[in-house]
Amino acid sequence: MGGLPLECPSCGGKLLVHRLSCQQCGTAVEGLYRLPSLASLNRSDQQFVLQFVKASGSLKQMASFLGVSYPTVRNRLDQIIEELQRLETEQEATNG
């Protein structure tokens, strides 16, 4: 199974979740749901966050794992934080 698509392949608009279903019993829930902020990050940023959590939030360990300097990891994390803040602000604005 591939990664979760975030943009419409036709127009580039943001995709919403329309249907969730249980693999065990087949129950389905339908509606329009926004993806959580973390799921709205691009795949590269999601991978970075996953590795960061696995590294117990250690920037030093992340720098070693990625083979880059501590400031490079810090800058990347700051960019992801800014993107999450932007996504949350955007969600708040569309919610009313």
Residue 26 lies in a domain: no
Q: What is the pLDDT of residues 6-61, one digit of tens each?
A: 889 999 998 888 999 999 999 999 998 888 899 999 999 999 999 999 999 999 99
For the cut 80, the answer to whether the pLDDT of residue 3 exceeds it is no
Residue 21 lies in a domain: no
Residues 9 and 25: their CA atoms lie apart, in Å, by 31
CATH classification at residue 83:
1.10.10.10
Instruction: Report the pLDDT value the prediction gives residue 58, as an integer from 0 to 100.
Output: 96
Residue 87 belongs to what domain range?
Answer: 36-95
Q: Classify the C-alpha dihedral 76-79-85-89 as positive or negative.
A: negative
Q: Classify the C-alpha dihedral 39-44-45-51 as positive or negative.
A: positive
Total domains in the fold of the chain: 1
Please say whether the beta carbons of 6 and 35 come within 8 A: yes
